[in-house]
Copies of this chain bind each other. A is one copy, B any other.
Amino acid sequence: MTLPKLNKNQVFFGTFVHAKHLGELEFLHNTAVCVDTSGKIVAVEPNCNQQKTVEALYARLRWSLEDTSVTLGWDKRLFFFPGFVDTHAHASQYPNLGIFGKTTLLDWLNTYTFPTEASLAELPKARRVYTRCIRQALAHGTTTAAYYATIDVNATNLLADLCFSMGQRAFVGRVCMDHLGPDYYRDESADQSIAATQATIEHIRSIDNNFELVSPILTPRFAPACSSEIMKGLSEVQQRTQLPVQTHISENVNEIELVKELFPDCKHYADVYDTHGLLNEKTILAHAIHLTEEEADLIAKRKAKIAHCPCSNSALSSGVARVRWLLEKGIQVGLGSDMSGGYSPSILEAARHAKLVSNHLIMPGGTLGNLSSEERDKAKLSIEEVLYLATKGGAEVMGLADKIGTFEVGKQWDAQLIWTGLVPDEVAYDDFTTYGATDIFGWETPDERIAKWVFNGDSHNVRKVWVAGRLVHEQLLRKENWMDELSANSDLDGVGLLDD
C-alpha cells in the first residue's frame, strides 16, 4: 500500500509560527500556506489576504477554486504551529502514565513496566492501549513519534497498523531484549529476536510500502537487556536495510554500573553501541544524562542523535541532561515524552519541563551551579530553543528534517492549529471557556503570547491536527459554537493572534 492522494488542494490562512533555527521563532502574519494533494507545501505567501491569494497564487499554482479547500485562521486567538515530534515514547507503557511512585529506573522496570508490556500480547488489550495512546498523542499535537512497542510481533504490527490508520507519522519498533527482563518477558535467543524483528519489518512494508508514513525502527531495548549477539544481528539488519535504530543510553547511575559489569571490554556505555555497530547517524539515543566528555565526543563524531526526556528524568530521579553542552558539541537533540517514565503524552509539557530543568542545572546546588553568572545564563534553555527541539530538532533526530519540522516549501503539511484564550475587555464573573489558563489580554508581545501557551497550554489548545495534509484530529466541540465564536471575534481585516 501507499498513502492515497488527497481529494483537494488546500490553503491555510492565518498566522504561522515556526522555529527554523535554534533560538529563533519566525512569525508569519497574514500568510497563506498552500498544500497540494500529496500533502506537500507548495507555497508560503506572507503578507497576503484571501483575495490576493485567490487571484495571484491560484493562477501561479494552476489551482481552481473548486479543487481547493480553505481553512481560515483569521482570528486573534489562533495560530498554526508545526506538529510536535516525539523522539522517544513507549506506546506500550501508555496505561502507566503518572504511575511510578518513588522508584528509579531498574526497580521501575520490574515493578510497573515489564508486567504491563508483557500483558499486551493479548491483542484486544493492545488495541485498546495503542489506540488511546495514538489518539492522545495526536490530541496533544504530536504528528510524528518514535515508538517502542513490545517484544510481541503481533502487537507491534498492530501498533503500526493503528498509526497508519489513524494517520500518525511514526517509527514503530519491536523491542529486542534477551537479557535482564523477567522469564515471562524476554526474547528466547538472539536469532529469534532478529527473526521477530524481520517479521515486523515485512509487515510494515506490507502496509506502507515506501515507509512514507510508518517505518520500522530497530530497537535494542538498551545495552543491559541485550546480548552482543542481538546487537550484532541488528547492526547487520541495519546495514542491509538502512533502517533507523533507537535505544537508551546513560539514564541512571546504577544502569551505567551494570553496563560496565556486563561489557567489561568496552570503554564506556557509548562504546558498547559503537563496538556493536549501532552508533551512527541513524541512531536515536534516549536520555544521555551522565555521559562523559569522551562519550559525547564519540556520539558527535558518529553523528548519532539524542532524545532529551526531561519529564522522565525528573520522575525517575535519573538526573538532568546537559542539553546546551550536547548542542555545543554539534549533536542534534530532540524531545521525547518517554511515556511512561515520563508522565505526560505531551511534547509541550516536555518543552516546558526542558526549560525548567535547564534552570535546575545551574541553580544553587545544581550540577553546574558553580559556573559564572554568564555561563549559567547560557546553559538555560529559552522558550524559542525548547520549541525548536520540539519540532525541527526532533525532525533532525528522526532523519526527517527534509520532510517535517517547519513551514517551508517542499515539506509536508504536518501542523497543529492552536487556540488560546482571549480575555474580553468587559469580563464577566462567570466567563469561562476551556482554554486552560492561556489567557491573552491583548497587550502581550508575540513572544509573550507564545510563552503563555508554552507554560499553560495543553491538549485543549490544540484545535486541529494534520499529518501529510490529512486532518487527523479535531477537538470535539459544539461546532455551531466554535463557528459562532469565531465569526463574532474574527477580525475580517485578517489580523492573526500574534500580530503586534
> Chain A: residues with CB nearer than 8 A to chain B?
94-95, 97-102, 127-129, 131-132, 135-136, 139-140, 162, 165-166, 253, 290, 314-320, 343-346, 352, 356-357, 359-360, 362-367, 376-377, 380, 382-383, 423, 425-434, 436-437, 439, 441, 443-444, 448, 451-456, 458-460, 473, 475-476, 478
15 new A-B contacts, CB < 8 A, other than A97-B437, A135-B432, are: A97-B455, A98-B455, A100-B451, A101-B451, A102-B377, A128-B427, A131-B429, A132-B427, A135-B427, A135-B429, A136-B437, A343-B455, A357-B360, A360-B360, A434-B459
CA distance A41 to B223 in the complex (A): 57
- Report 9 cross-chain contacts, Cβ distance below 8 Å, ordered by A residue: A97-B437, A97-B439, A98-B455, A99-B451, A99-B452, A131-B431, A136-B439, A314-B357, A366-B366
Instruction: Specify which of B314, B377, B459 is in contact with A436 (CB 8 Å cutoff).
Output: B459
Q: Would you call B135 and A437 a contact (CB within 8 A)?
A: no
Q: Smallest Cβ distance from A158 to chain B, in angstroms?
A: 13
Residues of B within 8 A of A478 (CB): 478
Q: Would you call A165 and B429 a contact (CB within 8 A)?
A: yes
Q: Would you call A434 and B434 a contact (CB within 8 A)?
A: yes
Residues of B within 8 A of A441 (CB): 95, 128-129
Residues of B within 8 A of A436 (CB): 458-460
CA distance A315 to B319 in the complex (A): 18
Residues of B within 8 A of A290 (CB): 364
Q: Smallest Cβ distance from A319 to chain B, in angstroms?
A: 5
Residue of B nearest to A340 (CB): B455
Could you say how many copies of this chain the assembly holds? 2
CA distance A315 to B377 in the complex (A): 13
Instruction: Specify which of B344, B363, B423, B433 is in contact with A437 (CB 8 Å cutoff).
Output: B344
CA distance A344 to B456 in the complex (A): 6
CA distance A310 to B423 in the complex (A): 27
CA distance A459 to B316 in the complex (A): 26
Q: Smallest Cβ distance from A317 to chain B, in angstroms?
A: 4
Q: Would you call A427 and B99 a contact (CB within 8 A)?
A: no
Residue of B nearest to A139 (CB): B432
CA distance A363 to B369 in the complex (A): 14
CA distance A319 to B253 in the complex (A): 23
Residue of B nearest to A426 (CB): B128
Instruction: Specify which of B128, B314, B367 is in contact with A423 (CB 8 Å cutoff).
Output: B128
Residues of B within 8 A of A473 (CB): 432
Known: A97-B452, A98-B454, A128-B425. A140 touches B317 (CB 8 A): no
Residue of B nearest to A362 (CB): B317
CA distance A382 to B423 in the complex (A): 37
For the complex of A and B, the 3 pairs showing the least CB-CB separation, nearest first, are: A98-B455, A365-B367, A343-B455
Q: Would you call B99 and A345 a contact (CB within 8 A)?
A: no
CA distance A362 to B319 in the complex (A): 9
CA distance A236 to B4 in the complex (A): 78
Residue of B nearest to A253 (CB): B364
Q: Would you call B359 and A317 a contact (CB within 8 A)?
A: yes
CA distance A135 to B432 in the complex (A): 7
Q: Would you call A97 and B135 a contact (CB within 8 A)?
A: no
